[in-house]
Structure 1
Amino acid sequence: MFIRQINDRTKISLSVPQYADELFALTDKNRTMLRQWLPWLDHTKEPKDTRDFITAQLSRFTESKALHTTIFYDDRIAGVLAFNTIDSQNRAGHIGYWLGSDFQGKGIMTECVKDLMKIGEDFFSLERFEIRCAVENSKSRAIPERLDFQNEGTIRRAERVYENWYDHIVYGKIKSC
């Protein structure tokens, strides 16, 4: 298992089943906020669902297809950050993330995404990073914009989240040379 210290208060760790109870509690506490943007909330009803998800992500990690990490802030689980997909043929990593509402606005995610990109370069030889965000999700969009990703366009009706369709802005960044 790896743990990376981001700063004095923040670290990321490979997600493991032992985190499932606390991560589920954070998910459950933030369910209303997260449900607006994430389509999997109604399938996450108990800690076992979170544990099963983490186990599946670990399997994908062993195949170098994904990397799911848990974010800790002051030793409390604050959210998650992942390469939801690692495309090794094209050396691209597709980044996804969320933070509990108590942890937002502290610069946590910006610093963690920056570190995840470094992991992608160093350990997966990634050269391209992509983040897709719903046009209306200004908090999520702020991360790639802060990190100088380029807005590469909009995909119309890219994702259905319950009864809503969202257009996605595709943000891309090429590895720093």
Structure 2
Amino acid sequence: MFNESDAEKFFTLISRSREYLKEWMAWLDNIKSVEDVSKNIQGRLEAFVENGGHPKSFAIIYKGDIAGTIGFNEIHKKDRIGLVGYWLGEEFQGNGIMAKALNTLIDYGFKELKLNRVEIHVAVENKKSRALPERFGFVEEGRFRQAEWLNDHYVDHIIYALLAEEWRTK
């Protein structure tokens, strides 16, 4: 889990990867200072309490450094659905880090949070992010047209889903 002392390191990672991430992450324009990151972390900590003591998001640590983040951007408790979000700093790409993080998060979602369904929504052209759910056996269920305003244009999203019963059989 993130803690408030991570704000400066997390901001540094965001700053170093800003141009790389900007292609797919519209929220970067809202992060201009360590204080912005600190507020984000505080929100994550509050979500921990609201979620009954179960964290929703995590720092990805690689060789002692914060490499990125992964978690459930939304959890629909009634329907037991978790919507996954993730990103990795540019310098940490290509090491299998996100695959390990996603495997752990999916397992956590189904076993600890008792989710029935895990979803990942990805921009159609974001091939790196689309490769992960495809690798993990998520089913491509459809396309949300113009699902997100990204910098100066709309992008469509592909919707992937994995059910608890499908995860258990792997």
Q: TM-score, normalised by structure 1?
A: 0.89
Aligned to 1:90: 79
Give me the whole-angstrom Cα distance separating, in 2, the residues matched to 1:61 and 1:151: 30
Deviations 1:132-154 (A, max 9, x none): 00001001111101111111111
Give me the whole-angstrom Cα distance separating, in 2, the residues matched to 1:28 and 1:164: 23
Aligned to 2:11: 24
Give me the whole-angstrom Cα distance separating, in 2, the residues matched to 1:61 and 1:143: 26
Could you tell me how far 1:17 is from its partner in structure 2? Answer: 1.2
Structure 2 segments unaligned to the other structure (5+ residues):
none
User: Is the 8 Å Cα contact of residues 88 and 124 (structure 1) preserved in structure 2?
Assistant: no
Give me the whole-angstrom Cα distance separating, in 2, the residues matched to 1:125 and 1:98: 24
Q: CA RMSD in A?
A: 1.2
Secondary structure of the residue aligned to 2:162 is strand
Task: Give the alignment of 1:1-177 within 5 angstroms.
Answer: 14-64=1-51, 67-175=56-164, 176-177=167-168
**Residues matched between the structures, number:** 164
Give me the whole-angstrom Cα distance separating, in 2, the residues matched to 1:37 and 1:118: 26
Higher helix share: 2
User: Is the 8 Å Cα contact of residues 67 and 83 (structure 1) preserved in structure 2?
Assistant: yes
Identity %: 38
Structure 1 segments unaligned to the other structure (5+ residues):
1-13
Secondary structure of the residue aligned to 1:40 is helix
Could you tell me how far 1:122 is from its partner in structure 2? Answer: 2.2
Could you tell me how far 1:117 is from its partner in structure 2? Answer: 1.1
